[in-house]
């Protein structure tokens, strides 16, 4: 057979051209004189037609035996037909069944629990495949953005000795007889690295043993984090909104096919390509919620329900700033202009998604940070190396973390975070 082409490339050929494709049977129909096969590969789908009078009889018989999800190699002639998916079909002249598939266990209409049990097969679906492609493109764009901004990509460890966000959400690991933890965040290591590289970022897994199991939670997720020396909170917020707007814009431009398969209303993303994004304080957020009839008081944490209601006020991502200090992590700097409030921000995505980014200016004073650690009841010895960063040439600095899967939930228009990562990890089950 000739050189293999992708389904996408075949659709670009002129009518009458010869082509060879390989992939898996996505759809199959036998109409007697004609057998229709829709083959899928990583680039899309293409209709194959085996018809009497054109296709050899032995090839037609092979087409009749090509069960759903069988892997095949097909050779034929390109024909334009507006009724075919993508307006192009391949009239078969040869067909090889490489791997015959048994009766495929996904027919359509199955429940979520069943589909999660066979996640290794479900990930072949067109919508999930479109998400994996969207995810890949987002990763490329993240790197593109940070390279343009002069940030260095670094590789912090996955095992750590101390909590970043609190001990209750740590996964404990036996590290050769010593207690260690799966990382909740690369932040502390990024802070160490700014003293040599100044502006750093990473894209890596994080692990949080939270009790929540909602449509927005995973126990293993991908975390885009950045840290910059000399940067104040306002500058870091501008970096965040530029990153989000840039990535959304580039995805709209380069991933329109994936977004179309996902059924995403791209017009709803257009306003988010422009900055600056709106900013409200925590106090203003509380007042908005009260005005909407939510029972909430100043000092309460904002959960998924409160965030969803706040997103109804905006058509773009928006910042919430200046949270009460006690609601935020010990390393966040107090605003000298507003005592009792942290120089911290969350970025919430619209359409009910809620928080996708959390960031802050970091406390850079040794004594203040040590006191904060003691007040929170943490073991100072566990954080001695982190405190050392404040003893030897401390500088003002800020950083943030973006939850990749939540970001993709929003951009891809998904209702549940499990649709944004190939193998989601939940508290009660691991699939597979």
Q: Name the residue with tokens 């992590």.
A: 329
d(CA 15, CA 89): 10
Q: What is the pLDDT of residue 1?
A: 47
Nearest alpha-carbon partner for 207 in 416, 403, 381: 403
* Angle ∠(321,408,87) on CA atoms, nearest 5: 145
- Written as six digits, the tokens of 72 are 């095949």
Task: Among 65, 99, 133, give the residue marking a domain's end.
Answer: 99
| Domain shared by 231 and 341, yes or no | yes
Specify if 432 maps to a domain: no
Tell if the pTM clears 0.75, that is, is over it: yes
* Contact (CB, 8 A) for 35 and 29: yes
DSSP conformation class of 324: B
| Domain shared by 193 and 341, yes or no | yes
Specify if 427 maps to a domain: no
Query: Domain range holding 376?
Result: 119-420
CATH of the domain at 347: 3.30.930.10
Specify if 2 maps to a domain: no
Distance (Å) of CA 7 to CA 10, 79, 84, 417: 5, 13, 13, 29
d(CA 135, CA 98): 29
Q: Is 272 exposed, middle or buried (0-12, 13-18, 19+ CB in 10 A)?
A: buried
- Written as six digits, the tokens of 22 are 């390989």
* Angle ∠(254,402,206) on CA atoms, nearest 5: 115
* Contact (CB, 8 A) for 311 and 354: yes
| Domain shared by 303 and 375, yes or no | yes
Task: Among 29, 64, 99, give the residue marking a domain's end.
Answer: 99
| Domain shared by 259 and 397, yes or no | yes
| Domain shared by 124 and 45, yes or no | no
Specify if 104 maps to a domain: no
Task: Among 34, 67, 99, give the residue marking a domain's end.
Answer: 99
* Contact (CB, 8 A) for 357 and 307: no
State the DSSP string of 280-320: EEHHHHHHHHHHTT----TT----HHHHHHHHTT-SS-EEE
| Domain shared by 224 and 79, yes or no | no
SS3 424: coil
One digit per residue, the tens of pLDDT, for the chain of length 432 reads: 469 999 999 999 999 999 999 999 999 999 999 999 999 999 999 999 999 999 999 999 999 999 999 999 999 999 999 999 999 999 999 999 999 999 999 999 999 999 999 999 999 999 999 999 999 999 999 999 999 999 999 999 999 987 776 666 889 999 999 999 999 999 999 999 999 999 999 999 999 887 767 888 899 999 999 999 999 999 999 999 999 999 999 999 999 999 999 999 999 999 999 999 999 999 999 999 999 999 999 999 999 999 999 999 999 999 999 999 999 999 999 999 999 999 999 999 999 999 999 999 999 999 999 999 999 999 999 899 999 999 999 999 999 999 999 999 999 999 999 999 999 998 767 767
| Domain shared by 271 and 377, yes or no | yes
| Domain shared by 191 and 263, yes or no | yes
Task: Give the list of residues 6+ apart from residue 195 with CB closer than 8 angstroms, or none.
Answer: 229, 389, 392, 393, 395
Specify if 163 maps to a domain: yes
| Domain shared by 57 and 123, yes or no | no
| Domain shared by 123 and 54, yes or no | no
Q: How many CB atoms lie within 10 A of CB 137?
A: 16
| Domain shared by 392 and 265, yes or no | yes
d(CA 121, CA 63): 23
Specify if 108 maps to a domain: no
Q: How many CB atoms lie within 10 A of CB 42?
A: 11
| Domain shared by 163 and 29, yes or no | no
CATH of the domain at 89: 2.40.50.140
Q: Is the peptide bond before 189 cis (omega within 30 degrees of 0)?
A: no
* Contact (CB, 8 A) for 132 and 419: no
Q: Is 97 left (phi over 0), alpha (psi -120 to 50) or beta?
A: beta
Specify if 431 maps to a domain: no
Specify if 316 maps to a domain: yes
d(CA 186, CA 221): 13
Q: State the total domains in the chain.
A: 2
* Contact (CB, 8 A) for 17 and 33: no
DSSP conformation class of 278: P
DSSP conformation class of 273: G
């Amino acid at each position: 057979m000739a050189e293999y082409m992708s389904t996408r490339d075949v659709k670009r050929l002129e009518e009458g051209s010869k082509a060879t494709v390989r992939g898996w049977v996505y759809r199959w129909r036998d109409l007697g004189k004609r057998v229709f096969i829709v083959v899928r590969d990583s680039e899309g789908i293409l209709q194959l037609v085996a018809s009497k009078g054109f296709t050899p009889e032995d090839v037609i018989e092979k087409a009749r035996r090509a069960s759903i999800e069988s892997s095949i190699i097909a050779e034929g002639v390109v024909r334009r037909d507006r009724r075919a998916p993508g307006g192009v079909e391949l009239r078969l002249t040869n067909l090889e069944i490489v791997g015959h598939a048994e009766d495929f266990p996904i027919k359509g209409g199955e429940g979520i629990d069943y589909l999660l049990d066979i996640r290794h097969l479900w990930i072949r679906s067109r919508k999930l495949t479109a998400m994996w492609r969207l995810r890949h493109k987002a990763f490329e764009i993240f790197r593109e953005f940070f390279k343009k901004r002069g940030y260095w990509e670094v590789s912090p460890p996955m095992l750590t000795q101390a909590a970043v966000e609190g001990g209750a959400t740590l996964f404990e690991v036996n590290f050769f007889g010593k207690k260690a933890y799966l990382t909740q965040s690369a932040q502390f290591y990024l802070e160490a690295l700014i003293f040599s590289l100044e502006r750093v970022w990473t894209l890596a897994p994080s692990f949080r043993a939270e009790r929540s199991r909602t449509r927005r939670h995973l126990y293993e997720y991908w975390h885009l984090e950045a840290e910059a020396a000399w940067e104040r909170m306002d500058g870091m917020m501008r970096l965040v909104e530029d990153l989000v707007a840039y990535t959304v814009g580039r995805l709209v431009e380069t991933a329109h096919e994936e977004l179309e398969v996902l059924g995403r209303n791209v017009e709803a993303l257009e306003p988010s390509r422009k900055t600056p994004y709106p900013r409200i304080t925590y106090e203003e957020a509380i007042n908005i919620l009260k005005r909407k009839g939510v029972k909430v008081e100043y000092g309460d944490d904002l959960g998924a329900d409160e965030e969803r209601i706040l997103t109804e006020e905006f058509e773009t991502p928006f910042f919430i700033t200046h949270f009460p200090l006690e609601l935020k992590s010990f390393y966040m700097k107090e605003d000298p202009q507003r005592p009792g409030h942290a120089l911290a921000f969350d970025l919430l995505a619209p359409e009910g998604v809620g928080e996708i980014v959390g960031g802050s200016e970091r406390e850079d004073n040794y004594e203040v940070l040590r006191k904060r650690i003691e007040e929170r009841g943490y073991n100072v010895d566990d954080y001695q190396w982190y405190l050392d960063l404040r003893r030897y040439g401390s500088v003002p600095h800020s950083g943030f973390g973006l939850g990749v899967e939540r970001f993709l939930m929003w951009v891809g228009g998904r209702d549940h975070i499990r649709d944004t990562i190939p193998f989601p990890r939940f508290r009660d089950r691991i699939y597979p």
